[in-house]
Amino acid sequence: MKIGIVSYGLYVPENFETSTEVATKAGLTPEEVIALGIEHKFMPAQDDQPVTMAVKAANQAFERAKGIKPTDVDVVIWTGEEYKDYIAQTASIRLQEEVGCHNAWAFDLVDQGVTSILGLRVARDLMVGDASVNTILLAGGTRNVDLVDYANPATRFLLAASASGGAILLKRDHDENLLMGTTFIVDSEMADEVYVPGGGTEIPFDPENLDSELMFFQVTHPKVVFDYLTQRWPVALTEVVKRVHPDRSPNYLALRHLCPADRKQVLAQLKVKPEWSVSLSKWGHHGPNDVIISLELGLSSGAIQDGAFVVLASGGIGFTYAAALIRWGRVK
């Protein structure tokens, strides 16, 4: 069965921060911020809510699609962040309504920074298992930047967090941009090392904690996380790419945002030239939308040609990793 990407969409806010502005807020030098891979990052305005941004990205995906309308969609899947407009709202249903996918059914996925790739896997499995599912919309927004305390040195690795919306439109029997496979890695021993303590059932919202550190990402064991990010993080990203495309280096690697040192290590291990994988240092980190942004940059720069083997690769806190292999262009 051929399952291909028909189109994709992106939305990024107009507001942004430079490395100098981030440095001022974080108590760092601009050079230290640039070493984190942050030259520029996108910041949300009040109207840039996760679902709102996802709707804008989805609308662009339909504008780019050839002959596919929102009413043709059979399933809408939210592939944005867990932190969204409202608590306990099924974002995919609101997205479905606003985009006009009135004939679809909908549900939310949550898998931190790899949810777009998980969405590709679930979409493929739905089409394989259900003959009535022919067209699927993946869309989601992120503004986890709201949850990052710039002054907390233990969460410095999250400073690149940005805001955006992303969408992917997939179709059965589409002979372009074929989804060839996906793979996943989870390091479950790290499950409770990075999270936002406040606002859940363990520590509910309370007048005394609304403006406290409990409402931002915290690290349970800073040294454990530091050692993990130093030793395991780039290795796991390399491993997940090799699993999905083991025989040779990809023609283009749509890689999540990384600091320059980690990015250099991953590319070297995979024998990927820098021009085969555009850096996101001028974009920031957009969670599950990183791979869509990198795909857009690869296409606009000409790095991705018809017939290219493109790997989308990402990782997120938890810690979880994912990769998807796409044969880009028309497949005869």
Q: Mind listing the domains of the chain with CATH numbers?
A: 3-175 (3.40.47.10), 180-330 (3.40.47.10)
The answer to whether residues 142 and 42 touch, using CB atoms and an 8 Å cutoff, is: no
Q: How confident is the model at residue 211 (pLDDT cuts 50, 70, 90)?
A: confident
Helical H runs in the chain? 19-26, 30-35, 50-64, 91-99, 115-129, 222-231, 233-244, 260-270, 290-301
CA distance 16 to 164: 11
Mapped onto helix, strand or coil, the DSSP state of residue 101 is coil
* pLDDT at residue 244 tops 70: yes
Q: What is the mean pLDDT of the chain?
A: 97
CA distance 43 to 16: 5
Q: How far is CA 196 from CA 15, 81, 210, in A?
A: 25, 13, 12
Give me the DSSP letters along 256-284: PP--HHHHHHHHHHHT--GGGS---TTT-
Q: How confident is the model at residue 332 (pLDDT cuts 50, 70, 90)?
A: low
* pLDDT at residue 331 tops 80: no
Mean pLDDT, range 274-279, rounded to an integer = 96
pLDDT, position 232: 98
Residue 58 phi, psi (nearest 5):
-65, -40
- Per-residue pLDDT tens for 61-98? 999 998 899 999 999 999 999 999 999 999 999 999 99
* pLDDT at residue 214 tops 70: yes
